[in-house]
Structure 1
């Protein structure tokens, strides 16, 4: 098996160039090879050209796009080893086929090639569900710090978040959504203290602090804060992303972050986050 790589899907869009820049910086931080993948579509729905001529035009443009990407990486991340390939077919299939366990797949949030569909529906879900590795959707403007959305389903998200915060030399916020359940006592009776929402929220925070502690000891240079906040989990993450450098979430989940990338919560995040989103696997 080859060494782990950062793999980025590109086209000629400005969003793709932002994804390439992010991927190049990450490859430089990891000291690994950057693999650039450009997908050539066989059909352009909004093109005045026939499908055959549109495909020939795209194939003619592909080397220019790849060469420009190589030049950008040489400028942004000198010393990073770069490999580039042009593939025909669906963007999801190309990226999934290229990725191996340990790699990181990076895509832009918009574009005008086959990779555009990565955020438009089934293709995004295919990559999230079937890629054997983590995926980053580059969007928004990076701020400061890493935010990890934690639902209690897997400590892997926290491990990835700590590793990224340590690599980026920035603080980490671990956020868990809290939705008080419907009271099991009569409406006209005061709730018992043990079932008080404030008490339950504090208990969740204590549990989260205990889960985070071993990783905090492993990464002593990372300043970490845990938060248990009430509200809609998707909106909480979007709000936190406005000032963040990166949001890290699981590709699957339950509880407060159920349905990430498999339903409305995940799709809302990748469409509206104010910074890049890492879907940890």
Structure 2
């Protein structure tokens, strides 16, 4: 059952930013916040350091427990009363967090945990969770705002319905207004006609979601331009940006040049990446802001 908010904890300040954001999200959802640190087991002795394999393992566990302790303190400071679980596991962090994702409704990482360049690159924890994780992934950049609208990109891709389901559910949960952006890029065309066609298409696309979430304040916008730059610009005033990816096992949509890649590296607020094949729960509780 997906009844946890999961955070992978390491020694970075970015991870603590993720913990603070996730603590508030877990409290809103009324679910536990699960903090997990994965440490590699040493495969051999280190005679030059005069340490045995057992001592290396023990030191790694001690360090991991210390990191989890600091993360737990940051979580409680961010949201007192949050239900907290901590787990120290041995293994490849990608494998460990993929396993943990099976029991989570949301996985959260700090932007600095993605890769040395802060992007979704092959082999990174962020890319692994975005492609193979069984829940949406949120990438937290810096100190996240608790006010402002949520922002979601709406297109005609296979992930569009799942992305909108997640965005509307989050907006209903937090009581935040939802700005829905649709972009277009046709050249040598009657711009007024195209713009009106896109506006009508967006209104039709949003109709069932407005009916399902009548309390959510929706601001639909049609903008001429590329999705990445447009969402970055409107994201300056958002508390969360929600985007999709092409689906399970498809790497292309998360590599260089894609909207998800651009936002994960440069967005001014947290970014939720939602795959087409995920089951997104709809929350019905009263919003907690």
TM-score normalised to structure 2 length? 0.79
Q: What is the aligned length?
A: 256
State whether structure 2 residue 27 is matched by structure 1 residue 28.
Answer: yes
Q: What is the deviation of 1:167?
A: 1.4
Distance 1:205 1:5 in 2: 37
Equivalent residue in structure 1 for 2:193, among 193, 199, 203? 199
Task: Give the 3 Å change call, closer, same or farther, for CA 92–12 of structure 1 in structure 2.
Answer: same
Distance 1:158 1:165 in 2: 10
Distance 2:67 2:257 in 1: 34
Where do residues 147-166 of structure 1 align in structure 2 (5 Å cutoff)? 147-153=151-157, 154-166=160-172
Task: Give the 3 Å change call, closer, same or farther, for CA 270–79 of structure 1 in structure 2.
Answer: same
Task: Give the 3 Å change call, closer, same or farther, for CA 212–235 of structure 1 in structure 2.
Answer: same
Q: Is the contact between residue 4 and residue 100 of structure 1 (CA under 8 Å) also seen in structure 2?
A: no
Q: Is the contact between residue 101 and residue 135 of structure 2 (CA under 8 Å) also seen in structure 1?
A: yes
Aligned to 2:281: none
Where do residues 98-177 of structure 1 align in structure 2 (5 Å cutoff)? 98-100=100-102, 103-111=105-113, 116=115, 119=119, 121-122=121-122, 123=124, 124-140=126-142, 141-142=144-145, 144-153=148-157, 154-177=160-183
State whether structure 2 residue 115 is matched by structure 1 residue 97.
Answer: no
State whether structure 2 residue 227 is matched by structure 1 residue 221.
Answer: no
Please state whether the residue corresponding to 1:110 is helix, strand or coil: helix
Task: Give the 3 Å change call, closer, same or farther, for CA 228–260 of structure 1 in structure 2.
Answer: farther
Please state whether the residue corresponding to 1:25 is helix, strand or coil: helix
Equivalent residue in structure 2 for 1:212, among 206, 211, 227? 206
Distance 2:106 2:115 in 1: 19
Task: Give the 3 Å change call, closer, same or farther, for CA 236–90 of structure 1 in structure 2.
Answer: farther
Aligned-CA RMSD value: 2.6
Please state whether the residue corresponding to 1:264 is helix, strand or coil: coil
Q: What is the deviation of 1:125?
A: 2.2
Please state whether the residue corresponding to 2:156 is helix, strand or coil: coil
Unaligned runs of 5+ in 1: 44-48, 184-194
Q: Is the contact between residue 121 and residue 255 of structure 2 (CA under 8 Å) also seen in structure 1?
A: no
Q: Is the contact between residue 148 and residue 237 of structure 2 (CA under 8 Å) also seen in structure 1?
A: yes
TM-score normalised to structure 1 length? 0.81
Q: Is the contact between residue 147 and residue 174 of structure 1 (CA under 8 Å) also seen in structure 2?
A: yes
Distance 1:226 1:72 in 2: 36
Where do residues 175-190 of structure 1 align in structure 2 (5 Å cutoff)? 175-181=181-187, 183=188
Task: Give the 3 Å change call, closer, same or farther, for CA 120–148 of structure 1 in structure 2.
Answer: closer
